[in-house]
Amino acid sequence: MKLPIYMDNHSTTPCDPRVVDAMLPYFTEKFGNSASRNHSFGWEAEEGVDTARKQIAKLINADSKEIVFTSGATESNNLALKGVAEMYREKGDHIITSSTEHRAVIDPAKSLEKKGVKVTYLSVDKTGTVNPDDVRNAITDKTILISIMLANNEIGTINPIKEIGKIAKEKGVLFHCDATQGVGKIPVNVQELGVDLMSFSAHKIYGPKGIGALYVRRRAPRVRLVPMLDGGGHERGMRSGTLPVPLIVGFGKAAELCEQEMATESVRMMALRDRLKAGIMGAMEEVYLNGHPTERLPGNLNISFAYVEGEALLMGVKEIALSSGSACTSATLEPSYVLRALGVGSDLAHSSIRFGIGRFTTEEEVDYTIDRMLKAVNHLREMSPLYEMAKEGIDLSTVEWAAH
């Protein structure tokens, strides 16, 4: 086993070597501009893009013409929210989203609010799930867009997108889904889900960084967007700019591999995740699972370790790449807003660790992680005044803290 271990696959994933192999010729031999119509260099680049577009469309059961390439899911989310808000301004000025969305949805929504758009941020239940009835109740005759994520990037909770899609259709409201964490990991079918717009990116599915896509429905309804970038009118006028052909080819190959291997891969990842969960939660007291017990991404595990601070814990297992909801890892000093939205107390939010199992995670790595986590938690609990107080029978919630 090689150290360090990578267990932060929600953050990004390594490129699959098969993806890199597919990309390489497009840097040197097939380097043409896919928009060049007059020579073979352009044609072979275009062919590469066409194939990739089909591979990506197939993964989500869309038409290849419905795939708009962007620089990544952040751009896709921005284009969806801002593009719809501007295009349908006369129809209405209300957007519905949820409080646990990724910043790449929350921040465009906030920016739209400054321009006079009204935004409803739906709260979630303690598992992090959006209630479709809340979506229905929030819809007004001014609502032009609903934007709900497929799966959460911190806690892995999978939302009832299909139910929300039905409501959106019934009410005639466009439905955008940020599916960045879900595509390639769980089956995603845009027809079944009833989404009109969907964001996702390559680097979360073992493809290259710097390329993503926005699915934009062409029929029933035909979705229109005001572009963010003006220029050569690429991507049906929705996203101008020369296509990064090598990245797109890699994205396509990555999508194809996910489509072919998802069934077996998700079973394997879920088994590793459950092994990790049992190994940690079975051996320690006062550890809490964050998120949904079953409706969650196969590779996701998010646990709060009471009485120890997340960043200190990461420091204790520094040869394992993990992520924490602790404030100390962020510049804001605020703990994870996602965990807070679930009703997790700030103390336990500071104590949370996200494990992200991926395609290349091994059983040996999982077992090593369990062992290291147990040791690090014990080391820090020894050192923790909170643990000591709890052991003395003091109810920490009754203590008056000298907050700073």
Partner 1 sequence: MAYSEKVIDHYNNPRNMGSFKKDDDGVGTGIVGAPECGDVMKLQIKVENDTIVDAKFKTFGCGSAIASSSLATEWLKGKTVEEAGQIKNTEIVEELNLPPVKIHCSVLAEDAIKGALNDYKKKAEMKLQQEETTASASS
Find the shortest distance in angstroms from Cβ 72 to partner 1: 24
Q: Is 328 a catalytic residue?
A: yes
Find the shortest distance in angstroms from Cβ 369 to partner 1: 19
State the number of CA atoms in the 13 A half-sphere of 189 facing the CB. Answer: 4
Distance of alpha carbon 11 from alpha carbon 178, whole angstroms: 15
User: Would you count residue 367 as binding partner 1 (CB under 8 A)?
Assistant: no
Torsion sign across C-alpha atoms 287, 293, 295, 297: positive
Per CB under 8 A, the list member of 267, 278, 283, 383 interacting with partner 1 is 383
DSSP-derived 3-state class of residue 172: coil
Q: Partners of 70 in the beta sheet?
A: 212
Find the shortest distance in angstroms from Cβ 325 to partner 1: 10
Region binding partner 1 by CB under 8 A among candidate stretches 9-17, 100-108, 356-364, 384-392? 384-392
User: Would you count residue 148 as binding partner 1 (CB under 8 A)?
Assistant: no
Strand order of the β-sheet with 300-305 is: 287-289, 300-305, 352-356, 323-324
Phi, psi of 247 (to 5 degrees): -65, -40
Distance of alpha carbon 73 from alpha carbon 201, whole angstroms: 5
Taking residues 330 to 349 in sequence order and writing x for each that binds partner 1 by CB under 8 A, - otherwise, the string is -x-x-x---------xxx--
User: Would you count residue 372 as binding partner 1 (CB under 8 A)?
Assistant: no
In Å, how far from its chain's centre is CA 274? 21
Per CB under 8 A, the list member of 10, 273, 350, 354 interacting with partner 1 is 350
Distance of alpha carbon 181 from alpha carbon 359, whole angstroms: 14
Neighbours of 38 (CB within 10 A): 7
Per CB under 8 A, the list member of 103, 382, 391, 394 interacting with partner 1 is 382
Distance of alpha carbon 192 from alpha carbon 20, whole angstroms: 32
Cβ atoms of 87 and 225 closer than 8 Å = yes
Find the shortest distance in angstroms from Cβ 103 to partner 1: 19
In the complex with partner 1, which residue's Cβ is closer, 135 or 341?
A: 341
Taking residues 165 to 204 in sequence order and writing x for each that binds partner 1 by CB under 8 A, - otherwise, the string is ----------------------------------------
In the complex with partner 1, which residue's Cβ is closer, 114 or 401?
A: 401
User: Would you count residue 374 as binding partner 1 (CB under 8 A)?
Assistant: no
DSSP label at residue 240: -
Q: What's the per-residue H, E or C state across 178-202? A: ECCCCECCECCCHHHHCCCEEEEEC
Torsion sign across C-alpha atoms 195, 201, 202, 206: negative
Find the shortest distance in angstroms from Cβ 50 to partner 1: 44
Instruction: State which of positions 267-326 bind partner 1 (CB under 8 A).
Output: 307-312, 315-316, 326
Q: Under rule CB under 8 A, how many of the chain's residues touch partner 1?
A: 30
Find the shortest distance in angstroms from Cβ 402 to partner 1: 5
Q: Which positions are annotated as active-site residues?
A: 328
- Using CB under 8 A as the criterion, which residues of the chain lie in contact with partner 1 when the complex forms? 307-312, 315-316, 326-328, 331, 333, 335, 345-347, 350, 382-388, 396, 401-404
